[in-house]
């Protein structure tokens, strides 16, 4: 087991107090929130409380939150569910080349159904330009989906600007905020988004839980049918204990948001500084400034990434290449490809992502191990 | 506190909660990550999958984890219909399915599919012959539940599977959500292609379940993304929930020797109400699950009975939890041929392995106390 976990963008450990709350809920309350007996009513209260928390965390009202089994389901609902319900208004969709697969793959599935999807390029820092989105807009564009913070490079996208651009257009605007949620102050009105995706397991909450924010007038075709839950937009017995956990995780994220942001930015800066001091040759993948505080993606020239990851793991350090969500694959990242084409650097990139428990000592240890491993690998080569 | 609404949801076993806690804290990695934290989680996932597959004598590759019964049913039905649309647009189900089945079919009807909703007899049973007669060249899917969630009727799914086994272009899906652990089902029957299981009905945690997908059956996924679960169900796996599910299933199946006792308790309820004036027992005498009992008191509002029982600390329900907010007649009871009065006045008592004889006695006592009064009020009105 790795003793230093630096893969928080893949998933975060469950907060012990969140585990506690979930356990309590499961022990004390077997109810199904749809049942009218008192157990059911108490379960309903837990669900309502989670909905309030989720709404207030993004400046929304509770009615606009649809709980899902995670970010992937929420993204699919926003992209495929929206497109299918709004086909009559047009079949053109705009997204970017750097989205998570939970957006890209449903978009591809829509293409197979006859939708027309534009995948907009990004610049070398991994940021999409508002002008390019504007240029791609057509009369029959029904949906624009652009992620908020990229999970591989940490690049922040100009969501509020795109939102402003779309005010005058029929297209609805969705953002996948899985990586920024809980770290940045999010407000759906300021971002001018119609839909927003969040996932709990990236903020020390439970796996298999997330939500989609959906503005009032937006119509969706549900993927899961068969019950009155979530205003008929997502059937299935609510996961009450998990939602109690989500509430707690949201509260924790909220209370410490600003300090955590500063602390993570410090750790990332310290890490980059340490690499420079050790004379390690590296290239930073992603923007200098418009970025998430906890993700540092670097390429080590001429180093193949698999043995590097294995060696780091043996040294007790858990990091990843690209996105964990590409189930076990070490294919070159589609995000880096969009930024750099087929440049060598995309084959030697590692993503370090820090968390609230990452200490300054751990940063030093990571840098030291990295130096040793790279030296050893260079000798062998 | 006497909880008799176990068909709506069950209390997780305490050992299951322990497994969930331990897995949450010790195996928190993302199974798709290549480092040890990820691989440890991946190993736990594999272990759970293997153990679960073994319980049902199926291959681990045939287990597709979902967020529960609703997702399992939607994936099985829409996934099959859409994937095989080039072969036909005709589908068969019954009139007494759970809403997560019926509404999935409705959605397909809106998309241009043709659906045959088979009727049932007075005990809620579908006839295998009728399934056979409804089959067409362009029928791609038959979906019949195993145990009815409102009245407990066991459908002849293995007989239907015997028929469909010889119809290669028609897949067979079974909603086994209420049956698992209570009425055994041979998953490995060559006629069964898809089978839905939900965790929270068998003392696992909510938001867990799996869809059995026979090897060689292809489905179109509901969610696309990171290609987890052989691309059939993308999304970061709920590893602690999955580990807890494996434990709950094992514990439930290990208690199968207690099913006779449950059957006995259900019989007690049947006898008690069969003779009672004003009561209509909806659960059939033969071939019904041991844990579900449904009775109607025509003319009496079921909420009144439920509230009156709740005051005594006894919790039962009306219809299925998923529909209980709609104050309408139960479509299941109407399909049985019951009148609207009966179909709007049913209560469901559902047991679990921990239900005791004393609890059933207390329920009977409480009902005997409150019912005459309610029935009288009604009688007065009718006069
Ligand atoms: C940006 C982004 N979107 C979506 C997801 C998918 O979320 P989940 O793992 O909850 O399905 C992830 C993480 O895996 C992500 O990083
Ligand atoms: C027969 C049947 N099928 C499906 C479901 C849906 O399962 P879940 O609550 O896990 O979504 C239920 C329970 O509500 C059920 O009783």
CA B92 to CA B105: how far, in whole Å?
9
Kindly list the residues from chain A whose CB atom is less than 8 angstroms away from the CB atom of residue B14.
Answer: 27
Kindly list the residues from chain B whose CB atom is less than 8 angstroms away from the CB atom of residue A321.
Answer: 34
Residue to test with chain A: of B7, B8, B42, B103, most A Cβ within 10 A: B8
Average pLDDT over residues A52-61: 96
Average pLDDT over residues B80-88: 97
Q: How confident is the model at residue A37 (pLDDT cuts 50, 70, 90)?
A: low
- DSSP character for B321? G
Give me the pLDDT at residue B327, please: 58
pLDDT at A211 over 80: yes
Count CA within 13 A, CB hemisphere, residue B103: 21
CA B85 to CA A138: how far, in whole Å?
32
Instruction: Return the number of other C-beta atoms located less than 10 Å from residue B308's C-beta.
Output: 17
Domain boundary pick from A240, A255, A270: A255
Q: What is the CATH number of the domain that holds A184?
A: 3.40.640.10
Instruction: Tell whether A322 and A229 lie within a shared domain.
Output: no
DSSP 3-state helix, strand, coil percentages of chain A (rounded to 5)? 45, 15, 40
Give me the pLDDT at residue B303, please: 85
3-state SS of B164-215?
Answer: HCCCCCCEEEEECCCCCCCCCCCCCCCCCCEEEEEHHHCCCCCCCEEEEECC
Q: Residues with Cβ < 8 Å from B239, sequence gap 6 or more?
A: A207, B23, B27, B31, B41, B44, B45, B48
CA A287 to CA A153: how far, in whole Å?
8
- Residue identifier of the C-alpha nearest atom 5 of ligand 1: A71
A292-343 pLDDT, tens per residue?
999 999 999 888 888 899 899 999 999 998 644 444 556 789 999 999 998 8
CA A226 to CA B152: how far, in whole Å?
19
- What value does the mean pLDDT of chain A take? 92
Judged by its nearest atom, the ligand closest to the C-alpha of residue A320 is: 1
- DSSP character for A78? I
pLDDT at B120 over 80: yes
Judged by its nearest atom, the ligand closest to the C-alpha of residue A325 is: 1
Tokens of B2: 């006497």
3-state SS of A249-314?
Answer: HHHHHHHCHHHHHHHHHHHHHHHHHHHHHCCCCCEECCCCCCECCCEEEEECCCCCHHHHHHHHHH
Q: What is the CATH number of the domain that holds A351?
A: 3.90.1150.10
Give the angle A21-A27-A32 at the CA atoms, nearest 5°. Answer: 95
Name the residue of A237, A238, A241, A242 whose CB sits within 8 Å of the most ligand 2 atoms, as the mutation to test its pocket. A237
> Distance (Å) from the C-alpha of residue B42 to the closest C-alpha of chain A?
10
> Distance (Å) from the C-alpha of residue A4 to the closest C-alpha of chain B?
10
Residue to test with chain B: of A81, A237, A246, most B Cβ within 10 A: A237
- Residue identifier of the C-alpha nearest atom 8 of ligand 1: A71
B186-223 pLDDT, tens per residue?
999 999 999 999 999 999 999 999 999 999 999 999 99
Q: Is residue B292 within a helix (H) or strand (E), and if so which, with residue range? A: strand B292-296
Hey, are the CB atoms on B226 and A106 less than 8 Å from each other?
Answer: no
Q: Residue B203 in contact with residue B252, Cβ under 8 Å?
A: yes
Count CA within 13 A, CB hemisphere, residue A37: 33
Kindly list the residues from chain A whose CB atom is less than 8 angstroms away from the CB atom of residue B353.
Answer: none
Name the residue of A74, A102, A323 whose CB sits within 8 Å of the most ligand 1 atoms, as the mutation to test its pocket. A102
Q: Residues with Cβ < 8 Å from B93, sequence gap 6 or more?
A: B101, B102, B105, B115, B116, B117, B118, B142, B143, B144
Measure A323 CA to ligand 1 centroid, in angstroms. 9
Strand partners, B93: B117, B143
Instruction: Tell whether A30 and A155 lie within a shared domain.
Output: yes
Any idea which of A189-203, A360-374, B287-301, B319-333 has the lowest mean pLDDT?
B319-333
A339-374 pLDDT, tens per residue?
999 888 888 899 999 999 999 999 999 999 999 999
Hey, are the CB atoms on B226 and A235 less than 8 Å from each other?
Answer: no
Instruction: Tell whether A78 and A190 lie within a shared domain.
Output: yes
Instruction: Tell whether A177 and A271 lie within a shared domain.
Output: no
Rounded percentage of chain A residues whose pLDDT exceeds 70: 94
Kindly list the residues from chain B whose CB atom is less than 8 angstroms away from the CB atom of residue A317.
Answer: 35
pLDDT at B366 over 70: yes
Q: Is residue A7 within a helix (H) or strand (E), and if so which, with residue range? A: none
A253-295 pLDDT, tens per residue?
998 899 999 999 999 999 999 999 999 999 999 999 999 999 9
Give me the pLDDT at residue A41, please: 79
- Side by side, the strands of the sheet bearing B63-66 are B63-66, B209-213, B194-198, B171-175, B139-145, B90-94, B114-118
What's the gap between Cα A98 and its chain centre? 12
Q: Residues with Cβ < 8 Å from B275, sequence gap 6 or more?
A: none
Average pLDDT over residues B99-123: 96
What's the gap between Cα B321 and its chain centre? 12
Through-space distance between the first and last CA atoms of chain A, rounded to whole angstroms: 28
Instruction: Tell whether A161 and A186 lie within a shared domain.
Output: yes
Q: Which CATH architecture describes the domain B14-254?
A: 3-Layer(aba) Sandwich (3.40)
Of B59, B212, B225, residue with least CA distance to A327? B225
- Residue identifier of the C-alpha nearest atom 4 of ligand 1: A71
Of the partner residues A35, A241, A319, the one whose CB lies closest to the CB of residue B206: A241
Class of CATH domain B2-8+256-382:
alpha beta
Give me the pLDDT at residue B275, please: 85
Instruction: Tell whether A139 and A120 lie within a shared domain.
Output: yes
Tokens of B71: 């997702």
Number of helical H runs and strand E runs in chain B: 12, 12
Q: How confident is the model at residue B379 (pLDDT cuts 50, 70, 90)?
A: low
A199 lines ligand 1 (CB under 6 A): yes
CA B225 to CA B161: how far, in whole Å?
33
Tokens of A361: 């000592």
- Side by side, the strands of the sheet bearing B346-350 are B280-281, B292-296, B346-350
Of B377, B369, B152, B368, residue with least CA distance to B273? B368
CA A71 to CA A246: how far, in whole Å?
13
CA A19 to CA A131: how far, in whole Å?
45
Instruction: Tell whether A122 and A157 lie within a shared domain.
Output: yes
Through-space distance between the first and last CA atoms of chain B, rounded to whole angstroms: 38
Number of domains chain A contains: 2
Of the partner residues A39, A226, A310, the one whose CB lies closest to the CB of residue B70: A226
Domain boundary pick from A228, A255, A282: A255
Give me the pLDDT at residue B375, please: 76
A116-156 pLDDT, tens per residue?
999 999 999 999 999 999 999 999 999 999 999 999 999 99
Residue position matching structure tokens 């503005």? A215
Predicted-complex ipTM score: 0.83
> Distance (Å) from the C-alpha of residue A7 to the closest C-alpha of chain B?
9
Q: How confident is the model at residue B382 (pLDDT cuts 50, 70, 90)?
A: very low
E-assigned strand segments in chain A: 4-5, 65-68, 92-96, 116-120, 141-145, 172-176, 195-199, 210-214, 283-284, 295-299, 317-318, 349-353
- What value does the mean pLDDT of chain B take? 93
A63-99 pLDDT, tens per residue?
999 999 999 999 999 999 999 999 999 999 999 999 9
Sign of the dihedral defined by the CA atoms of residues A133, A134, A139, A145, in that order: positive
Measure A379 CA to ligand 1 centroid, in angstroms. 38
Give me the pLDDT at residue A34, please: 65
Closest atom of ligand 2 to B68 CA is: 10
Pairing of strands B139-145, B314-315: unpaired
B149 lines ligand 2 (CB under 6 A): yes
Instruction: Tell whether A109 and A247 lie within a shared domain.
Output: yes
Instruction: Tell whether A251 and A261 lie within a shared domain.
Output: no
What residues make up the domain containing A320?
A: 4-12+256-380
Domain map (residue ranges) of chain B: 2-8+256-382, 14-254
Instruction: Tell whether A286 and A335 lie within a shared domain.
Output: yes
CA A154 to CA A292: how far, in whole Å?
5
> Distance (Å) from the C-alpha of residue B9 to the closest C-alpha of chain A?
6
B150-169 pLDDT, tens per residue?
999 999 999 999 999 999 99
Measure B198 CA to ligand 2 centroid, in angstroms. 7
Closest atom of ligand 2 to B149 CA is: 16
Give me the pLDDT at residue B119, please: 97
CA B182 to CA B180: how far, in whole Å?
5
Hey, are the CB atoms on A227 and B326 less than 8 Å from each other?
Answer: no
**What is the Cα Rg of chain B in Å?**
21
For the stretch B372-375, contacts whose Cβ atoms lie closer than 8 Å and that sit 24 or more positions apart, written own/partner, are B374/B297, B374/B300, B374/B304, B374/B305, B374/B308, B375/B277, B375/B278, B375/B297, B375/B299, B375/B300
Q: Whole-model pTM?
A: 0.90
Tokens of A216: 């009032």
B175 lines ligand 2 (CB under 6 A): yes
Of B31, B150, B110, residue with least CA distance to A84? B110
pLDDT at B115 over 70: yes
Average pLDDT over residues A238-264: 92
A178 lines ligand 1 (CB under 6 A): yes
Tokens of A201: 């397991």
Residues of A with catalytic function: 325
CA B239 to CA B208: how far, in whole Å?
10
B143 lines ligand 2 (CB under 6 A): no
How many residue pairs from chains A and B have C-beta atoms closer than 8 A? 275
Give me the pLDDT at residue A191, please: 98
Domain boundary pick from A238, A255, A272: A255
CA B99 to CA B107: how far, in whole Å?
12
Give me the pLDDT at residue A327, please: 44
Count CA within 13 A, CB hemisphere, residue B43: 10
Q: Is A208 left (phi over 0), alpha (psi -120 to 50) or beta?
A: left
B236 lines ligand 1 (CB under 6 A): yes
Tokens of B10: 């069950």
Instruction: Tell whether A93 and A42 lie within a shared domain.
Output: yes
Hey, are the CB atoms on A102 and B226 less than 8 Å from each other?
Answer: yes
CA B107 to CA A380: how far, in whole Å?
60
Judged by its nearest atom, the ligand closest to the C-alpha of residue A101 is: 1
Of the partner residues A26, A101, A207, the one whose CB lies closest to the CB of residue B238: A207
> Distance (Å) from the C-alpha of residue A209 to the closest C-alpha of chain B?
9
Instruction: Tell whether A71 and A147 lie within a shared domain.
Output: yes
pLDDT at B183 over 90: yes
Pairing of strands B114-118, B292-296: unpaired
Measure B134 CA to ligand 2 centroid, in angstroms. 26
């Amino acid at each position: 087991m790795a003793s230093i976990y630096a893969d928080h963008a893949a998933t975060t450990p469950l907060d012990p107090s969140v585990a506690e709350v979930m356990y309590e809920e499961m022990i004390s309350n077997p109810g199904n929130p749809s049942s009218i007996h008192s157990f059911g009513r108490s379960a309903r209260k837990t669900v309502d409380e989670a909905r309030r928390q989720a709404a207030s965390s993004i400046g929304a009202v509770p009615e606009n939150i649809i709980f899902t089994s995670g970010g992937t389901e929420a993204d699919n609902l926003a992209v495929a569910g929206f497109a299918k319900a709004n086909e009559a208004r047009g079949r053109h969709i705009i997204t970017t080349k750097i989205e998570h697969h939970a957006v890209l793959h449903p978009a591809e599935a829509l293409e197979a159904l006859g939708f027309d999807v534009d995948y907009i390029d990004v610049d070398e820092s991994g940021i999409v330009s508002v002008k390019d989105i504007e240029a791609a807009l057509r009369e029959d564009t029904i949906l624009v989906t652009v992620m908020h913070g990229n999970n591989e490079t940490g690049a922040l996208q100009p969501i509020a600007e795109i939102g402003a651009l779309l005010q005058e257009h029929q297209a609805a605007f969705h953002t996948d905020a899985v990586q920024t949620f809980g770290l940045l102050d999010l407000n759906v009105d300021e971002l001018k988004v119609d839909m927003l995706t969040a996932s709990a397991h990236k903020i020390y909450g439970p796996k298999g839980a997330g939500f989609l924010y959906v503005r009032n007038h937006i119509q969706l075709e549900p993927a899961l049918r068969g019950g009155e839950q979530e205003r008929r937009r997502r059937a299935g017995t609510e996961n009450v204990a998990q939602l109690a956990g989500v509430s707690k995780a949201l509260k924790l994220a909220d209370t410490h948001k600003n300090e955590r942001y500063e602390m993570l930015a410090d750790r990332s800066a310290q890490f980059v500084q340490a690499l420079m001091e050790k004379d390690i040759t590296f290239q930073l993948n992603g923007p200098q400034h418009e970025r998430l505080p906890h993700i540092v993606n670097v390429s080590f020239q001429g180093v193949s990434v698999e043995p590097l990851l294995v060696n780091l793991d043996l040294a007790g350090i858990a990091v990843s290449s690209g996105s964990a969500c590409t189930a076990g694959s070490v294919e070159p990242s589609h995000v880096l490809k969009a930024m750099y084409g087929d440049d060598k650097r995309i084959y030697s990139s590692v993503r370090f992502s820090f968390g609230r428990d990452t200490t300054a000592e751990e940063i030093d240890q990571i840098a030291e191990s990295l130096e040793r491993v790279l030296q050893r690998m260079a000798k062998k080569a | 506190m006497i909880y008799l609404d176990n068909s709506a949801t069950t209390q997780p076993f305490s050992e299951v909660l322990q497994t969930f806690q331990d897995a949450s804290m010790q195996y928190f990695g993302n199974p798709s990550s290549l480092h040890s934290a990820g691989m440890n989680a991946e190993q736990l996932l594999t272990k759970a999958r293997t153990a679960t597959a073994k319980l049902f004598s199926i291959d681990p590759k045939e287990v597709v984890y979902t967020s529960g019964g609703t997702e399992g049913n939607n994936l099985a039905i829409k996934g099959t219909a859409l994937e095989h649309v080039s072969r036909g647009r005709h589908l068969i189900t019954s009139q007494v399915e759970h809403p997560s089945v019926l509404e999935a079919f409705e959605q397909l009807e809106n998309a241009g599919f043709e659906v045959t909703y088979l009727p049932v007899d007075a005990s809620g049973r579908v006839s295998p012959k009728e399934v056979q007669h409804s089959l067409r060249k362009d029928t791609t899917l038959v979906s019949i539940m195993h145990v009815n969630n409102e009245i407990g009727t066991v459908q002849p799914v293995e007989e239907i599977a015997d028929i469909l086994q010889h119809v290669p272009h028609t897949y067979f899906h079974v909603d086994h959500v209420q049956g698992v652990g209570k009425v055994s089902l041979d998953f490995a029957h060559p006629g069964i292609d898809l089978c839905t299981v939900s965790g929270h009905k068998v003392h696992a945690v909510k938001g867990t379940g799996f869809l059995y997908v026979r090897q060689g059956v292809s489905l179109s996924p509901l969610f696309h993304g990171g290609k987890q679960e052989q691309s059939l169900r993308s999304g970061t796996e709920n590893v602690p929930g999955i580990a807890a599910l494996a434990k709950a299933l094992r514990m439930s199946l290990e208690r199968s020797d207690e099913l006779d006792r449950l059957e006995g308790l259900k019989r007690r309820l049947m006898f008690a109400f069969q003779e009672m004036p004003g009561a209509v027992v909806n659960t059939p005498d033969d071939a019904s699950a041991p844990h579900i009992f449904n009775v109607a008191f025509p003319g009496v509002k079921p909420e009144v009975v439920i509230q009156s029982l709740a005051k005594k600390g006894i919790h039962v329900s009306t219809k299925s939890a998923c529909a209980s907010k709609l104050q309408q007649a139960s479509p299941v009871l109407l399909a049985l041929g019951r009148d609207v009065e009966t179909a709007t006045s049913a209560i469901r008592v559902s047991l679990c392995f921990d239900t005791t004889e004393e609890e059933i006695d207390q329920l009977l006592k409480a009902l005997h106390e409150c019912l005459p009064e309610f029935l009288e009020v009604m009688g007065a009105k009718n006069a």
